[in-house]
Amino acid sequence: MLTAQRLPRDFQLFIVAVVLAAAVLLWLFTQVIRWQAWPELLLFVVLIAVTSMFPIPNPRAGYVTSTTTLMYVLLSVQQPISAVLVAGSAYAIGHATSRGWVPWRTFFNGAQMGISVGLAALVFRLLGGSPQAPGVTSLLVPLALASIVHQASNNFFVTFFFGKLRQTPWFRTWLIEFKDSLSSNLLTIPSAALLAILYVFVHPATLLLYLVSLPAQRWAIQLYLQQRQIYKRAIDSLVLAIDANFPQGAGHSRRVADLAAALAMKMRLPDPDVEAIELGGLLHDVGMIGLDELFDSAMLFDSPAIEKIRQHVLMGAEVAGELPRRDVSEIVMYHHENYDGSGYPRGLRGAKIPVGARIVAVAEAFESMTAGGLPYTGRLSASEAMEAVRMQSGQAFDPQIVEAFFELNTENKVTSEKRERQPMIQDAGNKLDG
């Protein structure tokens, strides 16, 4: 667990700045808050806090809660500054209750959520949104656009923090996270609009109806997250099949994936790219399934056999293409391309080869040389294999990736017998919550 004492000074300042920004907003505009409506504000606080107390671990990273709909009702029926107060305090209470009291994390989460919801509420008002005149242009459209602002702001705070903390580009991660959550958030707009109308025209207590739907919402969220796990199980099955075809190299795919992911992190690539590279490392040899008989030493100099073996990248890319990420398929297809253009299947050169494929190429070469995973290869020591990689820099391998590879070795992350890093695709993570 991260503590404020372990965070770099720049990030401590970032946390303080966000918390102070929320506090200053509340101090400057506290007189605008309709304190006489405290029962309604308290109702929102209780409901948002309760729903955020039951987070569902996200296999990809962080947690998922059922607070989104309530946030959208809040921003549509309350003033922006009231939304800052209610969303921030309620989310902080729920966060601290469910995940433990860590002051800097609790205050930061509450502050960034309050600012995000308050900003969205301001956009809703500027667009002329009002549940008192329900309609497409007066409620649904402003609420939809406000929800986009909320999600963009919330994702920004989280990805910016972790991007700077890990010294990785945050913008691409923000873009992917925003894109992934956009459709599911927009689907909550009709129910949020209906609750807002009931709140205004019937009674604020109608918000309690939301609690009735909470079990069904949690079930729907869990079902959605389970779909992601299906891909992981499919990948695990494919990796087992690869290892079964090549018992001499059992575990080869996982070792390549670990080293490739470590290289990607060393090069400070965004988290989504690291995840794709890890998946590409796991599946790089999936096209080899069923070709094990071609590795008999007597057939190694047989041109038809060699050509058939080279086809494994195309077959593997077709299998990987069933995953919802195109970049994984490209890594599998091009991981045998050489930096000087002498590789296969397309003879790509330099930067035209996807960076993930260039990284997996280095990881696979080193792992194959040190493991001796195939019957016709000898096993090299780590130093011998590293020298072989160095000799191919600029020819088979990207010089920048080779440089990062040697820096990893200097940090004892290449040849270490025990790698501390856990596979990204299996982690729930300890991310701040969106």
Residues above pLDDT 90, as percent of the chain:
39
Classify residue 337: in a domain, yes or no: yes
Would the pLDDT of 302 be above 60?
no
Task: Clarify whether residues 171 and 257 are in a common domain.
Answer: no
Q: What is the pLDDT of residue 76?
A: 94
Range ranked top by mean pLDDT from 7-16, 231-240, 379-388 = 379-388
28-37, 206-215, 372-381: segment of lowest average pLDDT: 372-381
User: What range defines the domain where residue 251 resides?
Assistant: 246-426
Distance, CA of 203 to chain centre: 40
Task: Clarify whether residues 289 and 153 are in a common domain.
Answer: no
Contact 52, 96 (CB under 8 A): no
> 63: which strand partners?
57
Task: Clarify whether residues 61 and 28 are in a common domain.
Answer: yes
pTM above 0.95, yes or no: no
Q: What is the pLDDT of residue 216?
A: 66
Task: Clarify whether residues 328 and 411 are in a common domain.
Answer: yes
Question: How would residue 409 be classed by pLDDT, with cut points 50, 70 and 90?
Answer: confident
Range ranked top by mean pLDDT from 56-60, 121-125, 183-187, 217-221 = 121-125
Structure tokens at 229: 């796990």
294-329 residues labelled b (16+ CB within 10 A) or e (exposed): bbeeeeeeeeebeeebeebbebbbebbeebebebbb
Task: Clarify whether residues 280 and 189 are in a common domain.
Answer: no
Report the CATH number at residue 192: 1.10.1760.20
Classify residue 238: in a domain, yes or no: no
251-255, 281-285, 303-307: segment of lowest average pLDDT: 303-307
Q: What is the pLDDT of residue 222?
A: 66
Report the CATH number at residue 265: 1.10.3210.10
Q: Distance between CA 270 and CA 305 in Å, rounded?
A: 39
Residue 123 one-letter amino acid: V
Q: Where are the alpha helices (DSSP H) in 138-207?
A: 141-166, 171-186, 189-201
Query: Any idea of the CA torsion for 275, 276, 279, 285, to the nearest 10 degrees?
Result: -150
Contact 424, 381 (CB under 8 A): no
Give one word for 62, left, alpha or beta, with left for phi > 0 and alpha for psi -120 to 50.
left
Number of domains into which the chain is organized = 2
Closest to 282 (Cα-Cα) out of 252, 262, 312: 252
Task: Clarify whether residues 292 and 213 are in a common domain.
Answer: no
Q: What is the pLDDT of residue 125?
A: 95
Q: What is the pLDDT of residue 424?
A: 42
Mean pLDDT of the chain: 81
Contact 165, 11 (CB under 8 A): yes
Q: What is the pLDDT of residue 1?
A: 46
pLDDT in tens, 167-215: 667 787 788 778 877 887 888 899 899 999 999 999 998 888 887 777 7
Question: How would residue 432 be classed by pLDDT, with cut points 50, 70 and 90?
Answer: very low
Would the pLDDT of 392 be above 70?
yes
Question: How would residue 373 be classed by pLDDT, with cut points 50, 70 and 90?
Answer: low
pLDDT in tens, 335-357: 999 999 999 899 999 999 999 99
Task: Clarify whether residues 149 and 261 are in a common domain.
Answer: no
What would the 3-class secondary structure string for 238-298 be? HHHHHHHHCHHHCCHHHHHHHHHHHHHHHCCCCHHHHHHHHHHHHHCCHHHCCCHHHHCHH
Classify residue 235: in a domain, yes or no: no
Classify residue 241: in a domain, yes or no: no
Would the pLDDT of 227 be above 70?
no
Q: What is the pLDDT of residue 286?
A: 84
Classify residue 239: in a domain, yes or no: no
Question: How would residue 431 be classed by pLDDT, with cut points 50, 70 and 90?
Answer: very low
Closest to 316 (Cα-Cα) out of 278, 283, 347: 283
Classify residue 164: in a domain, yes or no: yes
Task: Clarify whether residues 159 and 260 are in a common domain.
Answer: no
Q: What is the pLDDT of residue 417?
A: 39
> Which has more confidence, 7 or 416?
7
Classify residue 431: in a domain, yes or no: no
Task: Clarify whether residues 192 and 99 are in a common domain.
Answer: yes
Contact 142, 128 (CB under 8 A): yes
Distance, CA of 156 to chain centre: 13
Classify residue 432: in a domain, yes or no: no
51-55, 124-128, 393-397: segment of lowest average pLDDT: 51-55
